[in-house]
Amino acid sequence: MNQKGQALVSIILISTFAIIVIASLTMLGISLNQKRLEFQQSQKVYYLAETGIDNAILLLLRSASAYTGSSSFSIEGVTINTTVWRFQENQNTIRKSIYVVANAKENSKTVWVQVEIDKNTNKLTVLPDTWREL
């Protein structure tokens, strides 16, 4: 009887340990899957915000002297807002800059991207290190 009792206790302990390990691995898998989905959503929203910047640059190329303001469009159910404005410190400033800011929002994830464009010599040049996530 003593050996049967020890065997039963051993089986219960091993089963409990196995259940704890399986539950821990399941929760870890669920957590990793949620992080993966959040990362994918973040990447999607970031690239859609960049699409807003690209769209604004295209509009600037078509009509650089006239285009300022805001626009909004939707791709894959994500709304992308773009704002373009001009900045010149004073009349003698050599650098004439155009700023473009775009944001894309899906569910609770919002990404802002900004770029500064130099409009000297009537060419649009994206300035180095200005294309960034805010």
pLDDT along the chain (134 residues), means of 10: 81 96 97 94 87 84 72 86 73 64 82 78 72 75
pTM of the shown model: 0.69
How far, in Å, CA of 132 to CA of 53, rounded?
11
pLDDT of residue 96: 62
Q: How many CB atoms lie within 10 A of CB 56?
A: 24
How many domains, in total, are found in the chain?
1
CB 72 within 8 A of CB 79: yes
pLDDT of residue 50: 87
3-class SS at 126?
A: strand
How far, in Å, CA of 39 to CA of 78, rounded?
16
pLDDT of residue 25: 97
Domain span at 37: 2-133
